[in-house]
């Protein structure tokens, strides 16, 4: 029902059902996804951040934990170099060292580094991460290729 509401753009109702599922069934295999989609349904940034933090703190091994962590801040906040956003992003590698989102994390951190040497180190790590990602997947996502090419351009 929550997914149906979400698909219909009825985000308030969707969020209520996702939260209900997360609270009533904290040990279900679907709980991390329920909290993730509660965050996606949230109308306020504060609620979304609260629900995402539940995902990556309480369910760090779930498939949506890296995405929830990465989405704690917007691309705008990352590109503009908001201190909290970049500091948050710096923790990504320690928590999710095998996630392909690490490609984007290295690029965004490098984009905000102050010295050429630090930029170079981040960009090189991003390229290595992309090569590892390519060796482990048969169908790479275009968004990761974008960060690869951006890194090469930088």
CA 63, CA 33: separation in Å to the nearest integer?
9
The reported pLDDT for the residue numbered 13 is 96
Over the stretch 1-58, which tens digit does the pLDDT of each residue have? 999 999 999 999 999 999 999 999 999 999 999 999 999 999 999 999 999 999 999 9
The reported pLDDT for the residue numbered 130 is 84
CA 114, CA 150: separation in Å to the nearest integer?
18
The reported pLDDT for the residue numbered 93 is 93
Among the listed ranges 12-21, 111-120, 132-141, which one has the minimum average pLDDT value?
132-141
Over the stretch 80-104, which tens digit does the pLDDT of each residue have? 999 999 999 999 999 999 898 999 9
> Model's pTM, two decimal places?
0.87
Asked whether 34 and 14 are in contact (CB, 8 A), the reply is no
Q: What average pLDDT does the segment 97-116 reach? A: 92
The reported pLDDT for the residue numbered 48 is 97
Q: How confident is the model at residue 143 (pLDDT cuts 50, 70, 90)?
A: low
Full DSSP string of the chain: -HHHHHHTT-HHHHHHHHHHHHHH-TTSTTHHHHHHHHHHH-SSHHHHHHHHHHHHHH-TTSTTHHHHHHTTS-HHHHHTT-HHHHHHHHTHHHH-TT-THHHHHHHHHHHH-SSHHHHHHHHHHHHHHHHHHHHT-SS--HHHHHHHHHHHH-
More confident residue, 141 or 26: 26
Nearest residue to 71 (alpha-carbon basis) of 99, 98, 111, 30: 99
Asked whether 52 and 71 are in contact (CB, 8 A), the reply is yes
Q: What average pLDDT does the segment 109-132 reach? A: 90
């Amino acid at each position: 029902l929550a997914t149906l509401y979400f698909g219909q753009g009825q985000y308030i109702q969707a969020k209520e059902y996702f939260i209900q599922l997360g609270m009533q069934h904290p040990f279900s295999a679907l709980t991390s996804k329920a909290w993730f989609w509660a965050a996606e349904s949230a109308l306020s940034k504060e609620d979304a951040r609260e629900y995402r933090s539940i995902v990556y703190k309480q369910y760090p091994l779930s498939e949506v934990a890296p995405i929830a962590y990465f989405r704690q801040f917007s691309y705008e906040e990352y590109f503009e170099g908001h201190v909290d956003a970049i500091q948050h992003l710096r923790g990504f590698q320690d928590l999710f060292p095998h996630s392909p989102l690490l490609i984007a994390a290295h690029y965004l951190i490098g984009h905000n580094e102050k010295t050429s040497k630090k930029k170079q180190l981040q960009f090189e790590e991003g390229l290595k991460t992309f090569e590892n990602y390519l060796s482990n997947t048969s169908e790479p996502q275009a968004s990761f290729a974008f960060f690869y090419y951006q890194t090469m351009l930088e």
